[in-house]
A and B are shown apart, each in its own frame.
Chain A
């Protein structure tokens, strides 16, 4: 545990900075270097090597093999359903998540603390339990007579459930930090509430909304547990990509599974990359 105490001070140490040495860079000593090696090895064995194996397996039969596996009728219809429902869920979350964040920050009412806690439940609740919970109320034995079992509506409901906290929790801190005097100034100059929101508040929270929606999209693209029970997994109809990959693994068609998995990975990476760019841009212009 010698990692804990590097001998060289970093930038925050202030006046003791040595001239000529870039204060940003604290070189690794032997012990910390070994620690870094161990951490990178662990990360490689656990994350990088397995993900590389997916890409290698998926593209092992060349570009045409990958493309053919990805565009079989079943794989393609699953991918289409996954992408479109994830986009829809991200868009819905951008609106309703912002609204919830607004209410939680600007309104005060009895039971607000309860709503605050309930927002976090989808983060921590096991996905299969979320699926069972939704199936109980919105499935064939629904006490309210709504049966969305094996429908796209059911899938979107499950995705909305698991992505509920993303936009709310990214927008909330930005709204809290917002300077309300600007809004009051706009109102005093005759802007109504909607104009004030559109011209003053929205531009300030837009990067946070985009970030939260991107996270929700990435989560929805890979979701499995909450969807598996309510979707019914009908081929060409309610089978999402993660369920397709699972069925291919079950059938020992690992190459076909890896092709779709590679596509899912690629989409996730693009979204994360875009998110990083948006956040950097916002940090520069905010």
Chain B
């Protein structure tokens, strides 16, 4: 009981002059409502997220570790994993280049249209992945696309899947970098420049260390988003098994056709997700401290 009372209330003799109200009552009421709120919050999160995840894990274990390895080692699964890694890797790389450049522009320069650009960068987060896929088909589709006659197949092929993945994860790196750059200011860089450092040295020795943690955070976020992208990639890939089928598309196909393997591939993706979340929580503290 005593441990529930705030330390001030224990030591402060003034508490006893409480207009004669019995002090135990409000304390007990507070504890009940606290428990009710806690119960609702934990119960909601549990029923919505934790229990379903547990059931999937249990189902996978039930089917046996042998089945798990067999599914993962299937040629179509291996191909899907490699393809997902390739597409996500290229997409994250493009996001890093665009993200650093765009963040430096937004944080350090003032130019006409800066505010508009700032809003437009967030636009991809509000667009349905299916609409993203449709939009890319309308511009880059071989037949009837605005830029369809480039001679390179983009839709139903890896470049289109990369474009779709970059689209949906576009703001993630920029949004992490801009606040850090704005907070840090330019003093150190100006000092470095005045001491004779050239632009490249300045970027490598001053800017990069400054944004290091935010960049790592943005990279993990985009990587998780890129590996998990489904709708946009489904539209632009054509979902050809063994060719343009990523892991998420494989999960979809196996689940819709009631074929085995959906749980096993899902567990793989869940593991990647958990690693990303743990990675993010490990990255965040040093950034917060600096």
How many residue pairs between the two chains, A and B, have CB atoms under 8 Å in the bound complex? 277
Proximity bits, B37-52, A CB within 8 Å = 1, else 0:
1101110110011111
Is A229 a contact of B49 with CB atoms below 8 Å? Answer: no
Proximity bits, B253-278, A CB within 8 Å = 1, else 0:
00110000011001001100110110
* Residue ID in chain A nearest B84 by CB atoms: A126
Is B49 a contact of A161 with CB atoms below 8 Å? Answer: yes
- Do most interface residues of chain A lie in helix, strand or loop, or is the interface mixed? helix
In the complex, which residues of chain A have a beta carbon less than 8 angstroms from the beta carbon of B199? 1-2, 4-5, 31
Is A51 a contact of B135 with CB atoms below 8 Å? Answer: yes
In the complex, which residues of chain A have a beta carbon less than 8 angstroms from the beta carbon of B129? 222, 224-225, 242
Proximity bits, A203-226, B CB within 8 Å = 1, else 0:
000000000000000100111110
Is A272 a contact of B122 with CB atoms below 8 Å? Answer: yes
Stretch among A36-44, A63-71, A169-177 lining the B interface = A36-44
Q: Is B218 an interface residue (CB 8 A)?
A: no
Among B49, B101, B235, which residue has its beta carbon within 8 angstroms of that of A121? B49
Q: Check A1/B277 contact, CB under 8 A, given A49-B139, A99-B41.
A: no
Is A100 a contact of B134 with CB atoms below 8 Å? Answer: no
* Max count, chain A CB within 10 A of own CB: residue among B50, B127, B248, B255: B127
In the complex, which residues of chain B have a beta carbon less than 8 angstroms from the beta carbon of A132? 56, 251, 255, 262-263, 266
What's the nearest-Cβ distance from chain A to residue B284, in Å? 11
Is A265 a contact of B231 with CB atoms below 8 Å? Answer: no
Proximity bits, A90-109, B CB within 8 Å = 1, else 0:
00000010011011100101
Q: Is A149 an interface residue (CB 8 A)?
A: no
Is B128 a contact of A43 with CB atoms below 8 Å? Answer: no
Is A54 a contact of B131 with CB atoms below 8 Å? Answer: yes
Proximity bits, A76-102, B CB within 8 Å = 1, else 0:
000000000000000000001001101
Q: Is A282 an interface residue (CB 8 A)?
A: no
Q: Check A133/B56 contact, CB under 8 A, given A4-B202, A6-B108, A242-B128.
A: yes
In the complex, which residues of chain B have a beta carbon less than 8 angstroms from the beta carbon of A234? none
Q: Check A53/B40 contact, CB under 8 A, given A46-B163, A117-B281.
A: no
Among B34, B139, B251, which residue has its beta carbon within 8 angstroms of that of A53? B139
Q: Which range contains the number of B residues in contact with the other chain? A: 35 or more
Proximity bits, B277-288, A CB within 8 Å = 1, else 0:
100110000000
The complex places the Cα of A71 from the Cα of B17 at a distance, in Å, of: 69
Q: Is B173 an interface residue (CB 8 A)?
A: no
Q: Is B5 an interface residue (CB 8 A)?
A: no
Is B108 a contact of A26 with CB atoms below 8 Å? Answer: yes
Q: Check A38/B131 contact, CB under 8 A, given A126-B228, A134-B52, A160-B48.
A: no
Is B126 a contact of A133 with CB atoms below 8 Å? Answer: no
Q: Check A109/B252 contact, CB under 8 A, given A10-B186, A51-B135, A133-B52.
A: no
Excluding A128-B251, A242-B130, 6 further A-B contacts by CB distance (< 8 Å) are: A26-B108, A102-B37, A127-B230, A129-B270, A133-B52, A193-B30
Task: List the interface of chain B (C-beta within 8 A of A).
Answer: 30, 33-34, 37-38, 40-42, 44-45, 48-53, 55-56, 59, 98, 101-102, 104-105, 108-111, 117, 119-124, 126-140, 144, 146-147, 163, 166-167, 170, 185-187, 189-190, 193, 199-200, 202-203, 207, 221, 224-225, 227-231, 234-235, 248, 251-252, 255-256, 262-263, 266, 269-270, 273-274, 276-277, 280-281
Task: List the interface of chain A (C-beta within 8 A of B).
Answer: 1-7, 9-10, 12-13, 24-28, 31-32, 35-36, 38-40, 42-43, 46-51, 53-54, 57, 96, 99-100, 102-104, 107, 109, 111, 115, 117-122, 124-129, 131-138, 143, 157, 160-161, 164, 193, 218, 221-225, 228-229, 241-243, 245-246, 249, 254, 257-258, 261, 264-265, 268-269, 271-272, 276
List 25 A-B residue pairs with CB atoms under 8 Å apart, sorted by A's residue number.
A10-B108, A10-B110, A12-B186, A13-B185, A32-B104, A39-B105, A40-B117, A47-B167, A102-B41, A103-B37, A115-B41, A126-B227, A126-B269, A129-B248, A132-B255, A132-B263, A137-B52, A164-B48, A224-B128, A245-B131, A246-B231, A249-B235, A258-B134, A261-B131, A265-B131
